[in-house]
Homo-oligomer: A and B are copies of this chain.
Amino acid sequence: MPPSLQSYEEVSSSLPMKVVPTKNGVVNGASSLQLEETEKHDLVLRVFRCLIADLCEQFKGGHPGGAMGMAGIGIALWKYAMKYSPSNPNYFNRDRFVLSNGHTCLFQYTFMHLVGYSNMTLDQLRSYHSKRTDSLCPGHPEIEIDGIEVTTGPLGQGVANAVGLAMAEKHLAATYNKPNYPVVDNMVFCMIGDACLQEGVALEAISLAGHWRLDNLVIVYDNNQVTCDGSVDIACNEDVNAKMRACGWNVIDVFDGSNNISGVTQALVTARASDKPTFINVRTVIGFGSKLAGDAKTHGAAFGPEDVANIKRTFGMDVDKHFYIPEDVYDFFHEARSRGQDYEREWNALVDAYSREYPELSAEFKSRVAGEMPQDWMKQFSDYAYGVPEVGWACLQPLAQNLKNFMVGTADLTPSVNMVWKGKEDFQHPDLKTACGINGSYRGRYIHWGIREHAMASISNGLAAYNKGTILPITSTFFMFYIYAAAGVRMGALQGLQCIHIATHDSIGTGEDGPTHQPIELAALYRAMPNMLYIRPCDSEETAGAFIAALNAKNTPSIISLSRQNLEQYPAHSSRGGVQKGAYVLMEQEDADVTLIGVGAEMCFAVSTKEVLEKKYGIKARIVSFPCQRLFEAQPREYKREVLQYGKGRPIVVIEAYAVTGWERYADAGFAMSSFGHSLPGATCYDHFGFSGKNIAPKVKALVEEVREVGIESLRGDFRDLNGTLGIKTEH
């Protein structure tokens, strides 16, 4: 059990505060530092709260309430508890701070300004909610801004990101630290509001953090008991502390978080010595100082000039001064820059000494810090013989085995997704002893995510964001269940975080599990998603190409979409190089009457349709393999026209067991799915929905004949769904 609040309050005013002790009670930094006088804290609190009110008032919008309530927490974090360096926001061993309640972004921006992040000027603060496109103060924190670790805003995501950041630290520390050389020992502080504790993705991530005993992770809960609809108890009456303890967390209460900076600081410092992740439950008052304090109305709207004046009067500030920050407040935080430079200097010295004692390990460490991919990764491909049916495994296994930046996980589908490599070690707390005997350590690079697809994706974003290029997360589950993870996958694309999602069991070939497991429409989402490569290879050679494309996309996540069933192989035709261009001619045919687009597991039907067309109807068909629309769009127009031969005036038919959405750009007709699937064995299921050369060929023949008769122009604007278009249930 953690110490009770009472003990904090008793000790907090008398004890000297230890700032930034390392784990295990070793003190690092100024051991004799005490908290500043209460008057200084009060001045900062008053100035900060008035500033927030002004910043929301200027453009009549924004989120003032949370930031004002959290002011004291901010002082505890940036003045006392966190290790960071304003003059080098990317200093490697910094504590990571995540604002999961991202709408309170002014909280973070303002403290960044006060402690001296040089880009975060007062002028920039005033750009919040302005029309300025160069603003560094968007409505939610964005990773592109110096000092922001992850983009947050969609609630709950930040909690998962923080778990990923904490895992990354644990893994790197276990891999590289040596006695007396804690080259990686940062903490992760994650600020949340009431909402984050309701989102499923956060609940999944909290469960995992407890399981892994991530003692370097601290959630600071801004418990103001207010959400948009009113008081939290309108939708939530849990015993949150008991719930967190049940999930394996330490819990510390702080009751007067609006003012009790000493209590919050003590809790933060105590959390560093915990053997579990720590949940600090800080009671605050939303909109502290406003006449609406404690009311949901202070959440997401400006106060109006009258209340802003009232707030200033309440805090003894000049009503006519706006955006006012006296020098005393800057002075209060002045040491932050030099302290940060000290941290950097100390760390650099530590790494230098480490390099002398462990030259090989430190070389690898420095390469990881530099975010470098081991240079011989392409070798893993050239060494490996393809043409095997288990395509995903065949590609991933040698990569994962040899490249230490790979962290590979699955949402409880190890036997199905088949990503395990020889000698893999699980990422686990080293003391864990499971009933099944599969254990691991923090050095492990194989992650059992449990049945938590959303957290898997969102935590992976945190792994990737720890330091760009240091860790390459690989996730895996059935493609259908990336619909659970979609919000997390999107946040990775938005942030430009490389991550490879291995989505197996795509299409209706998944079979007996039925329509709940057969993706029909999901590819449309990922093909439309900006900065995402959705790659659907047709055989193992193309799967190699998919991995190469995904590995080369340093600022873009990828989904590699694989089938459950073993696929035909096209060794004389398929090409990993072709995949890099998104689409290419798989089987050329002079004077073709029609171009067939084949995709992924349904390539076999394009090939059998071509055969039937030729043998039975004397119609010549060529086949384009089209694994990735996004990569194809990046090609020169000439290449695109050459592959698809629009100029020749021949029809183009796409064959894929998905909704046809998006293919209309390339094809005149599609043999696709317009309904959900059916529980049948995979091959039977394809047959049930008409996927066979025998069934498709006559439909293509009719199209070819129509074009011969009335010309290709008749197809413009009249896309043909060769497999029905119902799409709405008319009966039940």
A520 beta carbon closer than 8 Å to chain B: yes
A155 beta carbon closer than 8 Å to chain B: yes
How far, in whole Å, are A227 and B449 apart by their CA atoms in the complex?
12
Q: Given A139-B517, A229-B410, A727-B633: A62 and B530 within 8 A (CB)?
A: no
A684 beta carbon closer than 8 Å to chain B: yes
- Beyond A210-B238, A530-B659, list 19 extra A-B contacts (CB 8 Å): A138-B512, A139-B514, A142-B515, A144-B732, A198-B412, A198-B450, A199-B204, A200-B201, A200-B452, A225-B435, A227-B451, A228-B412, A229-B415, A243-B247, A300-B415, A468-B732, A527-B661, A555-B728, A668-B717
A524 beta carbon closer than 8 Å to chain B: yes
Q: Do residues B728 and A634 form an inter-chain contact, with CB atoms below 8 A? A: yes
A719 beta carbon closer than 8 Å to chain B: yes
A421 beta carbon closer than 8 Å to chain B: no
Q: Do residues B436 and A153 form an inter-chain contact, with CB atoms below 8 A? A: no
Cβ of A412: which chain B residues have Cβ within 8 Å of it?
A: 195, 198, 227-229, 235
Question: What residue in chain B is nearest A731 (Cβ atoms)?
Answer: B555
A659: contacting residue among B144, B484, B528, CB under 8 A: B528
How far, in whole Å, are A399 and B410 apart by their CA atoms in the complex?
46
Q: Do residues B512 and A438 form an inter-chain contact, with CB atoms below 8 A? A: no
Looking at A73-81, A566-574, A671-679, the stretch in contact with chain B turns out to be A671-679
Q: Mark A91-111, 1 if CB is under 8 A from B, else 0.
A: 000000000001100000000
Looking at A10-18, A389-397, A487-495, the stretch in contact with chain B turns out to be A487-495
A491: contacting residue among B296, B516, B520, CB under 8 A: B516
Cβ of A135: which chain B residues have Cβ within 8 Å of it?
A: 679
A278 beta carbon closer than 8 Å to chain B: no
A725 beta carbon closer than 8 Å to chain B: yes
Looking at A335-343, A377-385, A617-625, A708-716, the stretch in contact with chain B turns out to be A708-716
Q: Mark A148-160, 1 if CB is under 8 A from B, else 0.
A: 0001111110000
How far, in whole Å, are A363 and B360 apart by their CA atoms in the complex?
83
Cβ of A644: which chain B residues have Cβ within 8 Å of it?
A: 717
How far, in whole Å, are A237 and B673 apart by their CA atoms in the complex?
42
> What are 5 A-to-B residue pairs whose CB atoms are below 8 Å?
A231-B435, A234-B428, A235-B452, A481-B487, A530-B676
Question: What residue in chain B is nearest A196 (Cβ atoms)?
Answer: B451
Cβ of A630: which chain B residues have Cβ within 8 Å of it?
A: 727-728
Q: Given A455-B200, A494-B515, A514-B140: A659 and B529 within 8 A (CB)?
A: yes
Within 8 A of B (CB), among A647-670: 652, 658-659, 661-662, 664-666, 668
Q: Do residues B200 and A131 form an inter-chain contact, with CB atoms below 8 A? A: no
Cβ of A491: which chain B residues have Cβ within 8 Å of it?
A: 516
Q: Do residues B730 and A555 form an inter-chain contact, with CB atoms below 8 A? A: yes
How far, in whole Å, are A732 and B495 apart by their CA atoms in the complex?
9
Q: Mark A596-639, 1 if CB is under 8 A from B, else 0.
A: 00000000000000000000000000000000001001100100
How far, in whole Å, are A412 and B719 apart by their CA atoms in the complex?
42
Q: Mark A554-584, 1 if CB is under 8 A from B, else 0.
A: 1110000000000000000000000000000
A432 beta carbon closer than 8 Å to chain B: yes
A416 beta carbon closer than 8 Å to chain B: yes
Cβ of A319: which chain B residues have Cβ within 8 Å of it?
A: none
How far, in whole Å, are A491 and B681 apart by their CA atoms in the complex?
21
Q: Do residues B238 and A248 form an inter-chain contact, with CB atoms below 8 A? A: yes
A312 beta carbon closer than 8 Å to chain B: no
Cβ of A229: which chain B residues have Cβ within 8 Å of it?
A: 410, 412-415, 438, 448, 450
How far, in whole Å, are A248 and B237 apart by their CA atoms in the complex?
8
Question: What residue in chain B is nearest A629 (Cβ atoms)?
Answer: B661
Within 8 A of B (CB), among A434-450: 434-436, 438, 448-450
Question: What residue in chain B is nearest A510 (Cβ atoms)?
Answer: B139
